[in-house]
């Protein structure tokens, strides 16, 4: 990425709206907003790796402080609150999509509405914030933009796959079997269709932006219909 490249006015305004009026090292922020399809020398992947851990710590600390729930409940909520789909939802809520640097084909393929890309860039932004401003700034931002999710019911219900597994055991059935029906679309906007079945009961299919999301939705639909 050339040292002459800098944040545009729109990106600066976006960061200022998040409370980052002085972003600091601009190349770090450009890297966080850059998808591999853009053709730049560096993209968001390393910062995503860092931001994923920063987000996990910020949310884990928050949940620990919030009450005296047992470890299992804390883990259940943490996993839901830091999931790719939740990160993508938060990214949409703050208008992140408009500032992601994508290649022409990736943009035409719907990359700006891909849960995979939105979730990854959301984490990369937190990684960039950690690098430029430290953990306290990351904590403050997470607690602001994740506030509704933490205050709501996200992660309080049992994961659909766990619920289905327990339902099958409780009804003396073999455990659910998941199979990949189809994978479609380019890598940056892939779609996965998965079927879940329980012998002697039935089968349901669902589609998601990852195999895990498709399995989760298929389990939820199965419970909705047969549970």
Cβ 106 vs Cβ 118: under 8 Å: no
Catalytic residue among 31, 43, 48, 52: 52
pTM of whole model > 0.75? no
Lowest-confidence range among 11-15, 128-132, 163-167? Answer: 163-167
Cβ 213 vs Cβ 115: under 8 Å: yes
- Per-residue pLDDT band for 7 (boundaries 50, 70, 90) equals confident
Whether 123 is a known active-site residue: answer: yes
Instruction: State which CATH number among 3.40.50.2000, 2.60.120.10, 3.30.160.20, 3.40.50.10190 fits the domain covering 160-226.
Output: 3.30.160.20
Q: Closest by alpha carbon to 38, among 130, 132, 128, 121?
A: 121
Ranges in the chain annotated CATH 3.30.160.20 = 160-226
Return the residue matching tokens 């992947």: 45
Fold of 9-151: Ribonuclease iii, N-terminal Endonuclease Domain; Chain A (1.10.1520)
Ranges in the chain annotated CATH 1.10.1520.10 = 9-151
Q: How far apart are CA 226 and CA 159, in angstroms?
A: 17
- At residue 1, the pLDDT reads 43
Residues with Cβ within 8 Å of residue 64, at least 6 apart in sequence: 74
Catalytic residue among 123, 213, 215, 217: 123
Whether 43 is a known active-site residue: answer: no
pLDDT digits (tens, 9 = 90+) for 166-209: 788 888 888 899 999 999 988 777 899 999 999 999 999 999 88
């Amino acid at each position: 990425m050339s040292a002459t490249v800098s944040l545009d006015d729109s990106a600066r305004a976006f960061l200022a709206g998040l409370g980052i009026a002085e972003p600091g090292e601009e190349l770090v922020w450009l890297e966080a907003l850059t998808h591999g399809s853009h053709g730049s020398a560096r993209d968001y992947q390393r910062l995503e790796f860092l931001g994923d851990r920063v987000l996990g710590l910020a949310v884990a600390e928050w949940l620990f402080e919030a009450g005296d729930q047992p470890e299992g409940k804390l883990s259940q909520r943490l996993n839901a609150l830091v999931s790719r789909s939740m990160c993508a939802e938060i990214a949409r809520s703050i208008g992140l999509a408009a500032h992601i640097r994508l290649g022409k084909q990736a943009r035409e393929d719907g990359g700006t509405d891909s849960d995979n890309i939105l979730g990854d860039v959301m984490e990369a932004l937190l990684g960039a914030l950690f690098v430029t401003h430290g953990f306290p700034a990351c904590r403050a931002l997470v607690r602001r933009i994740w506030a509704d999710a933490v205050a709501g019911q996200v992660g309080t219900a049992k994961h659909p796959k766990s619920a289905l597994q327990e339902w099958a055991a409780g009804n003396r059935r073999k455990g659910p079997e998941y199979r990949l029906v189809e994978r479609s679309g380019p890598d940056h906007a892939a779609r996965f269709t998965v079927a879940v079945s329980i012998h002697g009961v039935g089968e349901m299919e669902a589609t998601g932006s990852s195999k895990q999301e498709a399995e989760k939705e298929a389990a939820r639909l199965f419970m909705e219909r047969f549970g």
